[in-house]
C-alpha cells in the first residue's frame, strides 16, 4: 500500500510535532533520489525560517527532516549535504 503525504499543509512547528507524534508507528520508505531529498531539506529550512527558531523548535524540525528523508542527525547538523544552508557572516 502506498500513501502519499501532503506536507504542504504543515504550517507551524506545532503541527509538525503533532504529525511526528501521530506517525510514530509508521515506517516511511523514501525512494526519492538524492537531489530531490536535498531540495526538500532546503525548502524546509527556508520555509520554517530555521535560523530564527528556538533550540527546541529546531530539534522538532530536525526530527521531521530525519524522519522524512532518512538522513542521520549528523548528516543534517554538520552540513554533509550541500543543501544545508548555514548562516554566513559578512566580512567587514
Number of other CB atoms surrounding residue 53 within 10 Å:
14
- 91/82 Cα distance (integer angstroms): 22
Q: Is the pTM above the cut of 0.85?
A: no
Rounded alpha-carbon distances, angstroms, from residue 51 to 30, 43, 44: 26, 13, 12
- 44/62 Cα distance (integer angstroms): 10
pLDDT digit string, tens, across residues 51-85: 888 899 988 888 888 888 888 888 887 765 444 55
Domain ranges in the chain are: 9-77
According to the model, what pLDDT value does residue 53 have? Answer: 87
Beta carbons of 50 and 56 less than 8 angstroms apart: no
Amino acid at each position: 500500500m502506498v500513501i502519499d503525504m501532503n506536507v504542504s499543509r504543515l504550517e507551524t512547528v506545532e503541527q509538525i510535532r503533532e504529525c511526528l507524534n501521530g506517525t510514530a508507528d509508521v515506517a516511511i520508505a523514501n525512494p526519492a533520489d538524492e537531489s530531490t531529498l536535498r531540495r526538500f531539506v532546503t525548502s524546509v529550512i527556508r520555509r520554517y525560517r530555521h535560523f530564527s527558531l528556538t533550540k527546541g523548535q529546531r530539534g522538532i524540525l530536525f526530527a521531521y527532516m530525519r524522519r522524512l528523508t532518512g538522513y542521520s542527525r549528523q548528516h543534517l547538523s554538520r552540513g554533509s549535504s550541500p543543501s544545508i544552508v548555514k548562516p554566513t557572516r559578512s566580512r567587514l
